[in-house]
């Protein structure tokens, strides 16, 4: 009789997961590609397109950004439910259900919104309306694929899909630059092509190596597949309010003024928005470490240094951007006042978008995000209306939007402080202090001293270095605090 096999049974193969460091690396790589694509379009299109054509392209991007309005919380519900459920079969079933619901909603809502857009913007071409309609479908499909990969922790797949799209988009923009042949249709294709390639890549690899849910488990879902609408409603409303608040000024300028004015306005915003992408990437990596419980003092100190650098360097973008306009884009010299306003508010926008949003998540109260963004929409609307009442000029609209953003930033700690822990309230106060100092230094140099060019940049850098260095020098001279005796 053969001896019995006493070896322990082999464990089933485990699904490969990525380390947190790898996830952060893939996130930064994807953000870097987005930034490179945005920089390429900002550098190329204003150079070779006239202002009317560039304004039409920026209107497409502006209203294409409202794609998140049309899913009515389906994507938020999918993200929340998939994030808190670890069964891969359930995730697959949930993904299929969310995709069916999303397609049905878009088939009804997207054509109606396209009709409203054509009525509100009667001068928009049929090509722009068709591209806008296609972008709403593609952007929501891309967001669903991104959420699916993120909730699985597989940022390599997230990077693979988006890398394919961005690389094709950058190659297409470079082709336009070399051929110097540009039309409204060409600009629309340059906006849609990267998104379409990303979505098609996700579908093409659905049964291959980069499948969204390529796991060996085949067990059926152990519970009914449901989307909890109530828990995701606050996230959806918060996203809608945030988009409205940060784009209200552009909608007003596009509706009330000529296309060349909107071209200047959107060109200035596109230059300043490059730093916002960097802020989003930094927020993804550092804010969870800064606001979570049990964060070490060394981690908090490093995160504070990163955020101080971001707040203080954001307005400095104005000086190289201004020189860049003088050298390469003299036709857009009239956009400099708008650029100054946007750079003045960059620290406050980063603070409201990233810092306060993450603080609301840390408070574990989803309703706080919608309340904070409603507060932002209210203050920005009040600022724009007040500025319009004073003087109906595009620069006054920009100034009203800036005042509204500063009011939003000033009221955020008050709104969040009532439901947050003391450590979160302290971080909010420190961030607001850095925002006020950074914007105050830039405002003093540009608006009070009226310095420009190299002298303005030199004085700004000197004042910023002094504001950052003097408190640390004072603390080092005082020495460490001694513990009280007894």
Tell whether 483 is covered by a domain.
no
Closest CA to 194 of 173, 175, 178, 212: 173
- Is the pLDDT at 217 greater than 70? The verdict is no
- CA 358, CA 352: separation in Å to the nearest integer? 10
Tally of domains within the chain = 2
* Whether residues 30 and 87 fall in one domain: yes
* Whether residues 104 and 158 fall in one domain: yes
* Whether residues 200 and 238 fall in one domain: no
* Whether residues 358 and 429 fall in one domain: yes
* Whether residues 305 and 384 fall in one domain: yes
Tell whether 1 is covered by a domain.
no
- Is the pLDDT at 5 greater than 50? The verdict is no
* Whether residues 406 and 283 fall in one domain: yes
Instruction: List, in order, residues 6 or more apart from 30 with CB less than 8 Å away.
Output: 155, 158, 159, 162, 163
pLDDT at 193: 94
* Whether residues 254 and 207 fall in one domain: no
* Whether residues 211 and 258 fall in one domain: no
pLDDT at 66: 93
Tell whether 478 is covered by a domain.
no
Q: Model confidence over 340-371: pLDDT tens digits?
A: 999 999 999 888 877 666 665 555 555 677 77
Tell whether 259 is covered by a domain.
yes
Q: What is the mean pLDDT of the chain?
A: 79
Region of poorest pLDDT, from 2-11, 81-90, 424-433:
2-11
Residues 139, 115, 373, 81, CA torsion sign: negative
* pLDDT: which is higher, 292 or 262: 262
* Whether residues 464 and 426 fall in one domain: yes
pLDDT at 475: 52
pLDDT-derived band at 39, boundaries 50, 70, 90? confident
Tell whether 5 is covered by a domain.
no
- CA 410, CA 351: separation in Å to the nearest integer? 10
pLDDT-derived band at 169, boundaries 50, 70, 90? very high
Contact predicate 116/172, CB 8 Å: no
Chain-centroid distance, C-alpha 96: 27
Q: Which of 218, 253, 276 is the last residue of a domain?
A: 218
Q: Which of 218, 239, 259 is the last residue of a domain?
A: 218
- Is the pLDDT at 137 greater than 90? The verdict is yes
Contact predicate 54/45, CB 8 Å: yes
Q: Model confidence over 263-288: pLDDT tens digits?
A: 999 999 988 887 777 666 666 555 55
* pLDDT: which is higher, 467 or 297: 467
* pLDDT: which is higher, 444 or 297: 444
Tell whether 482 is covered by a domain.
no
Q: Is the pTM of this model over 0.85?
A: no
Q: Which of 218, 236, 270 is the last residue of a domain?
A: 218
Distances (CA, A) of 423 to 163, 170, 308: 38, 43, 18
Q: What is the DSSP code string of 417-481?
A: HTTS-HHHHHHHHHHHHHHHHHHHHHHIIIIIS---HHHHHHHHHHHHHHHHHHHHHHHHHH-PP
* Whether residues 232 and 83 fall in one domain: no
- Is the pLDDT at 72 greater than 60? The verdict is yes
* Whether residues 46 and 121 fall in one domain: yes
Tell whether 479 is covered by a domain.
no
Domain residues for 129? 17-218
Tell whether 2 is covered by a domain.
no
Number of Cα atoms under 13 Å in the Cβ half of residue 479: 2
* Whether residues 100 and 198 fall in one domain: yes
Q: What is the CA radius of gyration of the chain?
A: 25
pLDDT at 239: 82
pLDDT at 432: 87
């Amino acid at each position: 009789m053969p001896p019995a096999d006493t070896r322990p049974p082999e464990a089933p193969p485990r699904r490969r997961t990525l380390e947190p460091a790898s996830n952060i690396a893939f996130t930064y790589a994807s953000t870097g590609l987005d930034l490179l694509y945005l920089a390429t379009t900002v550098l190329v299109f204003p150079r070779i397109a006239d202002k009317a054509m560039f304004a039409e392209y920026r209107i497409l991007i502006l209203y294409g950004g409202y794609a998140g309005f049309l899913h009515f919380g389906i994507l938020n519900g999918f993200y929340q439910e998939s994030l808190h459920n670890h069964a891969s079969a359930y995730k697959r079933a949930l993904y299929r259900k969310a995709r069916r619901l999303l397609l049905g909603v878009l088939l009804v809502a997207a054509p109606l919104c396209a009709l409203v857009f054509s009525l509100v913007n009667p001068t928009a071409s049929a090509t722009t309306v068709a591209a806008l309609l296609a972008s709403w479908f593609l952007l929501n499909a891309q967001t669903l694929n991104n959420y699916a990969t993120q909730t699985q922790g597989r940022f390599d797949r997230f990077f693979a899909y988006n890398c394919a799209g961005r690389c094709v988009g950058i190659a297409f923009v470079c082709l336009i630059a070399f051929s110097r042949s540009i039309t409204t249709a060409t600009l629309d294709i340059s906006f849609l092509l990267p998104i379409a390639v990303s979505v098609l890549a996700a579908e093409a690899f659905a049964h291959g190596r980069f499948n969204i849910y390529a796991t060996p488990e085949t067990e059926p879902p152990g519970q009914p597949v449901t989307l909890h609408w109530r828990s995701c409603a606050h996230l959806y409303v918060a996203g809608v309010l945030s988009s409205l608040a940060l784009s209200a000024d552009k909608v007003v300028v596009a509706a009330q003024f000529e296309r060349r004015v909107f071209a200047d306005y959107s060109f200035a915003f596109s230059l300043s928005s490059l730093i916002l992408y960097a802020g989003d990437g930094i927020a993804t990596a550092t804010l969870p470490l800064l606001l979570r419980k049990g964060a070490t003092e060394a981690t908090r100190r490093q995160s504070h240094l990163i955020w101080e650098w971001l707040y203080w360097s954001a307005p400095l973008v104005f000086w190289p951007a201004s020189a860049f306009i003088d050298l390469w884009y003299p036709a857009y010299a009239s956009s400099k006042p708008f650029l100054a306003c946007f750079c003045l508010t960059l620290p406050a926008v980063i603070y409201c978008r990233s810092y306060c949003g993450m603080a609301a998540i840390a408070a574990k109260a989803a309703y706080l995000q919608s309340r904070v963004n409603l507060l932002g929409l209210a203050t920005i609307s009040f600022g724009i209306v007040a500025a319009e009442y004073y003087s109906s000029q595009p620069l006054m609209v920009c100034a009203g939007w800036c005042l509204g953003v500063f009011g939003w930033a000033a009221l955020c700690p008050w709104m969040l402080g009532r439901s947050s822990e003391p450590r979160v309230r302290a971080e909010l106060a420190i961030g607001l202090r850095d925002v006020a100092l950074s914007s105050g230094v830039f405002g003093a140099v540009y608006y009070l001293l009226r310095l420009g060019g190299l002298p303005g940049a030199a004085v700004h850098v000197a004042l910023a270095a002094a504001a950052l260095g003097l408190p640390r020098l004072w603390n080092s001279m005082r020495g460490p605090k001694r513990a009280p005796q007894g």
